[in-house]
Amino acid sequence: MKICTHLAEWRALRGSPEWAGLSVGFVPTMGALHAGHEALLARARAENERVVLSVFVNPTQFNDPADLARYPRTWDADVALAHPYVDAVLAPPAEAFYPDGYRYRVTENSLGTQLEGAHRPGHFDGVLTVVLKLLNVVQPHRAYFGEKDWQQLELVRGMVAALLLPVDIVPCPTTRDADGLALSSRNRRLSPQARTLAAAFPRALRTAPTAAAALTTLRAQGFAVDYVEDRDGVRLGAVHVEGVRLIDNVRL
């Protein structure tokens, strides 16, 4: 496994004879890897001859600087988890991806302004911009995204289609703990008591007869709720517990 911290180093590897003509699978992440990321990497390993992981905490998708500062960084553990699956790790500094100071960006003016976009202004501009840059740099044949981030997945699919990018976006099922909570890098910030309460979040999404009923149940249980909505056969929600923001979705 080769670790590339400079784009020129990565481009030299990508253009080398040992990568020529081989299928490339790509898993973009912000690090703090867990079993959900591992499932994406395992899928990419099974379906491609080369696998690339990016570890980049993207500053432009955080509308709250304090949230960016608190985001967990676990580099050594990330490298250890990735090692059995990955041929190369791309981990450049922020200035490598934003030499323009983020003057140029990707904006989607419909779905990207709703749900997460309504509660985190500018979030999806940052997500789509960095994903476009990563796809341009990595040049994968397939890129793997978890279905937990349903809205992100839909927007990335739409961008790839709109901008005619030659890559297949592969959706992967949400990985959950035994009590049903979707795995997330943010979960490690929960106290034991909050972690126990958090398991009620997906349970309410799954069992409530309507989105409004799920919202009422979650508030009664002590969650601060940003939204619960049904879209295209999927119930989506975002809540806060102990100041930690969690998102999830379930198929109806």
Enumerate the active-site residues. 37
Q: What whole-number distance in Å separates Cα of residue 17 and Cα of residue 29?
A: 27
Contact 97, 56 (CB under 8 A): yes
Strands in the chain per DSSP E: 2-4, 24-29, 50-55, 88-90, 142-146, 168-172, 224-231, 234-241, 244-251
Q: What whole-number distance in Å separates Cα of residue 223 and Cα of residue 239?
A: 6
Local structure of 26: helix, strand or coil:
strand
Q: What whole-number distance in Å separates Cα of residue 236 and Cα of residue 136?
A: 30
Query: Residue 53 has which token pair?
Result: 């992981």
Half-sphere exposure of 121 (CA within 13 A, CB side): 0
Is 238 buried (19+), middle (13-18) or exposed (0-12) by CB count in 10 A?
buried
Local structure of 138: helix, strand or coil:
helix
Q: What whole-number distance in Å separates Cα of residue 146 and Cα of residue 106?
A: 21
Q: Dihedral of CA 35/117/250/164: which sign? A: negative
Query: Residue 36 has which token pair?
Result: 């959900």
